[in-house]
Structure 1
Amino acid sequence: MDSQAQSMTSPISKQKNWKVWWRLTRPHTLTAAFVPVTLGTVLAMNDGTSINLPLFLAMMVASILIQIATNLFNEYYDFKRGLDNEESVGIGGGIVRDGIQPKTIMKLALSLYGISLIIGIYICISSSWWLALIGLGCMLAGYLYTGGPVPIAYTPFGELASGFLMGMVIVLISFFIQTGTVSTESVLTASPIMILVGAINLANNIRDLEGDKENGRKTLAILLGKKNAVAFLASMFVISYVWVFMLIGFQIISPWILLVVLSIPKAVSAIKGFIHNTAPIHMMPAMKATSQTNTFFGLLLAIGIFLGNMI
């Protein structure tokens, strides 16, 4: 009888476990990994380079794994510092809600870093060993974002760190491994993505503002206050779109990149969501819309560059 009951509940248990582990990856943040890699690769195509598909896939997988590992470090250290509980919004919740051992989360994060390191060695062999220093720096920053004595996430520099590393550096590495160089065009085109990746971080901190304040954090959102933080987020969106018009005006990139204007409704939805809501749970759609803005903007930018190169 017990055996029969166990077999009947097993599929449900497995489905729940799958959902728990998927939630721990914080899927809405993964846009900060795959959009920069895609954009950097398309920029390399626009530069006349024949794309090395294995290198592209290696870079994509490594970036996503590092992002997931960073999220797991966040889960582990926020729990260890007593910041997460069953009512916390926006977390994976594997420890406080599903009973996963903290050491299991840490082991998984380190394992993902290990896999990324192996992939990184392949990328270095195929391009340049100088990338080893940059890659290790990115991995260290991912750990120090919530780990270490003074986590970056607890300071006003979280947006700058995440935007620069994930939005700028990842684009340029993706471009470099295909072309063997970094161009002015690639830096300028990566700039709005850098801003939008930082915006994802700011949106997260706006949502968590009150809880972070109670726990002694000094995020940018806390220093600005909610009203000014939302205004700053709106300015980040505006600058990103204006930047695209400047790229076209200075004839740096094809006018096809105007496709990015199709993502504007998501940006507007994000700002409205933060303005009209105060509870963290009610600001979740605005947080999601911010991530979607980065996704749609980045992919439409890449498509526009590709079409401009083909037509």
Structure 2
Amino acid sequence: MAASQVLGEKINILAGETVKVGERDPLGNDSPEQDRLPQRSWRQKCASYVLALRPWSFSASLTPVALGSALAYRSQGVLDPRLLVGCAVAVLAVHGAGNLVNTYYDFSKGIDHKKSDDRTLVDRILEPQDVVWFGVFLYTLGCICAACLYSLSPLKLEHLALIYFGGLSGSFLYTGGIGFKYVALGDLIILITFGPLAVMFAYAVQSSPRHW
């Protein structure tokens, strides 16, 4: 009987049935071919990482940076472009990492599904470990930018650390750790993190201590 099986089929010994390649067998086991992800070029991989960041949401972090910098310029009449760029990159890195944390925890808790807006992990565009390591990289990048800002800005270290790590903690705890999003406090965390904290951060790195 085995010799008469058509190529591309496999025998379910227990049920006495055949299953075509790519189909799910009656015992609930996927074919190995179904589990394999298609090989993608490095450009497609990079595009997947960019989409996972949800770049369309970055206006929520760039707007407060622009506002804080404008307030600093109005109060001092001077704006350091290096500090402006460094602040924008730091805030964007924290924002992007927070989006990845949200993607990871929503998927791990079974909240994301085929009809969700974010299907990065549901559709296996990226693997969970890819999202985790990309988030770690972005948080590290944000910390490096914060260190550079300290070396260029007149802001005291304790003040910079308090504001920056306050924002970083908010971006992570939105869905990670405590998971404020899951106890109906997510909007409040987002409002604080990308509202007063981001504006204060951008203003503080441009302002000398006497303007506080």
Normalised to the residue count of structure 2, the TM-score between the two structures is 0.74
Q: Mean Cα displacement is larger for which, 122-131 or 168-177?
A: 122-131
Query: Is the 8 Å Cα contact of residues 48 and 126 (structure 2) preserved in structure 1?
Result: no
Given that 2:61 and 2:95 are in contact with CA atoms closer than 8 Å, whether structure 1 keeps it comes out as yes
Q: C-alpha root-mean-square deviation of aligned residues, in Å?
A: 2.2
CA shift at 1:28, angstroms?
2.2
> Of the two structures, which has the highest relative contact order with CA contacts closer than 8 Å and spacing of 6 or more?
2
8 Å Cα contact 1:49-1:179 kept in structure 2: no
Q: Which residue of 2 aligns with 1:160?
A: 188
CA distance in 1, matches of 2:180, 2:42: 36
8 Å contact kept, 1:124–1:132: no
4+ residue segments displaced more than 6 Å: none
Specify the alignment match of 1:19 in structure 2: 47
Q: Residues 228-239 of structure 1 correspond to what in structure 2 (within 5 A)?
A: none
Give the conservation status (yes or no) of the 8 Å contact 1:24–1:72: yes
Measured after TM superposition, the shift of residue 182 of structure 1 is: 9.2
Q: Which amino acid aligns with 2:128?
A: P
SS at match of 1:33: helix
More helix by share: 1
Cα deviation for residue 14 of structure 1 reads: 4.5
Query: In the alignment, is the contact (CA less than 8 A) between 2:167 and 2:198 conserved in 1?
Result: no
**Which of 121, 132, 151 is 2:147 aligned to?**
121
Q: Structure 2: 5+ residue runs without aligned partners?
A: 1-37
After TM superposition, list the pairs within 5 Å mapping 1:73-152 onto structure 2. 73-88=101-116, 90-91=117-118, 93-125=119-151, 126=153, 127-129=155-157, 130-148=159-177, 150-152=178-180
Q: Look up the equivalent residue of 2:148 and give its one-letter code.
A: Y
Alignment deviations for residues 76-134 of structure 1 (CA, whole Å, 9 cap, x no partner): 1111111112221x21x221113422011011101100011011112223222021122
* Mapped contact 1:51–1:178 kept (Cα < 8 A): yes
1:30 aligns with 2:58: yes
Q: Which residue of 2 aligns with 1:55?
A: 83
The count of aligned residue pairs is 172
How far apart, CA to CA, are the structure 2 residues paired with 1:33 and 1:116? 13
Letter of the structure 1 residue corresponding to residue 96 of structure 2: I
Sequence identity (%): 27
Cα distance between partner residues in 2 of 1:152 and 1:15: 35
TM-score, with structure 1 as normaliser: 0.51
Determine if contact 1:172/1:182 at 8 Å carries over to the other structure.
Answer: no
Assess, with a 3 A threshold, how the Cα gap between structure 1 residues 99 and 25 changes in structure 2: closer, same or farther: closer
Asked which structure has the greater CA Rg, the reply is 2
